[in-house]
Structure 1
Amino acid sequence: MTKKSADGTRRELIERIRTEGVEAAYGAALDVCRDKKAPAPARATAATTIFRVAGYMSAAAEEPDKPPHEMTAAELQAFIRAGEARIADLQAVTEEQVDEAGPQTGIYA
């Protein structure tokens, strides 16, 4: 029987985390996002995590590769369509959260 070094064990563990762990974490986050019975804050947190890991919430993701005045008409149209799709996604998530919260009481209801 050979004894593993601490470095060898650490490397193997990191490899498992980067493969099995990431897949399990993504699956769990996606399950929470899809679970209509999950609390709205849990679903929003899971969605945010997925967006963040995918790079959609970084400063680089929010800015186009080049300024609009340097874009062709086709690039501008694609940029606008992507922005409209993002807005629709955000509105859908917000509407789902409001629907799940049910009737509200209080001054702003």
Structure 2
Amino acid sequence: MKAKQQRGFTLIEALVALLVLSIGLLGVAAMQLKSLQSAHAGYQRATASLAAQDAVELLWSKFDANDMECPDLGGDEAAWQARWRAVIPGWKGVDAQRQ
């Protein structure tokens, strides 16, 4: 091409390259957001699993094989719930009363 025909062409090339780059960066940002959401969900699941395991260990520590009944946890249950309420924001707790 001659110089007169090329006038402004490099500007258009630069704008198209910028458009392609910005679309790519938007895709990367969307992937990052999804990654953060998945990491948070994994954290919540892991915390719930730890709380459940802790509850099982509390019950086993109070279990009497000779009695074969679920023990009365009394203040232990309240202490357990208070411990996990501090770790899990918005947790309402559980009602573990016998029926």
Instruction: Answer yes or no: same fold by TM over 0.5.
Output: no
Determine which structure has the larger helix proportion and give its number. Answer: 1
Greater C-alpha Rg: 2
Normalising by structure 1, report the TM-score.
0.29
Normalising by structure 2, report the TM-score.
0.32
